[in-house]
A = this chain, B = another copy of it.
């Protein structure tokens, strides 16, 4: 397995990261591609993989960790097809069709699921989830989402999960109505980076440390931790994404989570919160590492 060449794509709304290597811990080639129209973006990805194949020989499989919504049900006729995103041109775009020319197994998952898988597999080496049999990866940035991995497998149902669109209770001091075009005051509508900008005119890092914005943000993100805990009981939760770079935010989230859970569930969430809620171990490469791991799983499942 170690000698095979795998391809991975972390397909984001702003950029696509392409990579190739023998696995998530051996990434030998990478390229960032701006996300434009699907055909143009896919063509740039193929040019990258074609060049890598010229240098290294054939590619065994391809893994794609894609922005949502995207169909991730391999049993569906819509597998690998982008759903109703507001991103122009992308609804209906097909990852499987775009890369069918390589004749190799392709596995499509969501971006946060890929990041969760990358963190999971890296944990033994360097990651934040050392020894965990299961973990959740949360991103708080332009959007809010969470992916889960248990025993090395991405968890999903008929679709990838959509934790960001759950409605939390409202913080009593929150003046903002929420900005999700579908749900208004869901988690993403209230606590994403754009929601913070809309509400305060500044990012969280630009607001003074004693500004109520910090407590409001921590309140919503702690409710997300409560939901993840009570609906999946993972061994740990990794909080990543741009908003989580705000100094002190993760500690506020930990404190509020302790208060809200009130030690109700046995297990890791009732233990040391500094071990349960953690920053990413691979802050920049968890997504693409996960995509390569998906490629390896695609080959294993096909073999």
A14 part of interface (Cβ distance < 8 Å): no
Q: How many residues on chain A are close to B (CB under 8 Å)?
A: 42
Copies of this chain held together in the complex: 2
A93 part of interface (Cβ distance < 8 Å): no
- Provide the A66-93 mask, 1 if CB < 8 A to any CB of B, else 0: 0001010100001000011000000000
Judge whether B167 and A231 touch: CB under 8 Å.
Answer: no
Complex interface: chain B residues within 8 A of A235 (CB): 157-158
Judge whether B167 and A223 touch: CB under 8 Å.
Answer: yes
Judge whether B265 and A162 touch: CB under 8 Å.
Answer: yes
- Provide the A229-248 mask, 1 if CB < 8 A to any CB of B, else 0: 01111110000000000000
Distance in Å from the Cβ of A112 to the closest Cβ of chain B?
Answer: 13
Judge whether B266 and A69 touch: CB under 8 Å.
Answer: yes
Judge whether B260 and A183 touch: CB under 8 Å.
Answer: yes
Q: Point out the residue from B83, B231, B262 that lies within 8 Å of A166, measured CB to CB.
A: B231
Interface centre among A230, A267, A268 (most CB of B within 10 A): A230
Residues 115-169 of A contacting B (Cβ, < 8 Å):
134, 150, 156-163, 165-169
Complex interface: chain B residues within 8 A of A268 (CB): 158
Judge whether B157 and A234 touch: CB under 8 Å.
Answer: yes
